[in-house]
Amino acid sequence: MGGAVPKQFLTLNGKPVLSYALTAFEKCQLVESVILVMPEKDVEAGRAEWMKRPGIVGNVVVGGAQRQDSVYHGFKALDTDTEIVIVHDGVRPFITPQMIRQTVEAASQYGAAITAIPVSDTIKQVASDGLVERTIDRNGLWRVQTPQAFRYKVLKEAFEKAFAGSFYGTDEGALVEYTGMQVKVVSGSELNIKITRPEDLVLGECVARTVSIENDID
């Protein structure tokens, strides 16, 4: 984003980006607690700002060098008797309780589940010189989102095997795939955008004004 304020703390329609996702988790009756993973410099302020506000936040821990490291730090803070682990990007504000529930239910059945949407655009493979090499068949291609959900033991094994093999995936689903286990796809939403660029904030403002989490409560 290029600014001094981390993306998850920027405001949409007067509220921090992170607060939208936390509201959805709090309203999903399947979720007992949320662990926030933040950069070390933000943890102290994060604990003061977010612990028990909303009440679903049970802990704030320090992240790592890469996404996989950060998620693993959060995973290690879980109780070992946790049944299902949900991973979500704090900069995806428009997750819904229904989306969380569907992903958890799929993970409970299959062991691992990710939220995604089918690719609708034409996909080109482009060389380093900017010239198109080929058009890729988009049939069967999906754009992966979060939430992603896993049985505790499945994700634990995935982390252990990935780190042992020096494998880094771009999402937790890739780590489970690395173990040879299949991952179930759950249909996501085009509104489940990720706030990563300035133009995403503009789109997010529009969505925040028109979509209410109150309309999607378990």
Three-class secondary structure assignment of 108-137: HHHCEEEEEEECCCCEEEECCCCCEEEEEC
What is each CA distance from 128 to 36, 106, 131, 132, 133, in whole angstroms?
Answer: 38, 39, 7, 9, 10
Amino acid 215: pLDDT: 46
**What tens digit of pLDDT does each residue of 51-84 get?**
877 689 999 999 999 999 999 999 999 999 999 9
Give the residue extent of every domain in the chain. Answer: 7-212
Amino acid 197: pLDDT: 86
Amino acid 121: pLDDT: 94
What is each CA distance from 195 to 1, 33, 37, 124, in whole angstroms?
Answer: 9, 24, 17, 24
**Spans of the chain, pLDDT less than 50:** 214-215, 217
Q: Which of 36, 64, 31 is CA-nearest to residue 48? A: 36
Coil, strand or helix: which one is 16?
strand
Contact 148, 103 (CB under 8 A): yes
Amino acid 35: pLDDT: 96
* CATH number among 3.30.70.790, 3.40.390.10, 3.40.309.10, 3.90.550.10, domain 7-212: 3.90.550.10
3-state DSSP helix/strand/coil % of the chain, to nearest 5 = 40, 20, 40
Within the chain, what is the greatest distance between any pair of CA atoms? 52
Contact 203, 193 (CB under 8 A): yes
Amino acid 217: pLDDT: 43
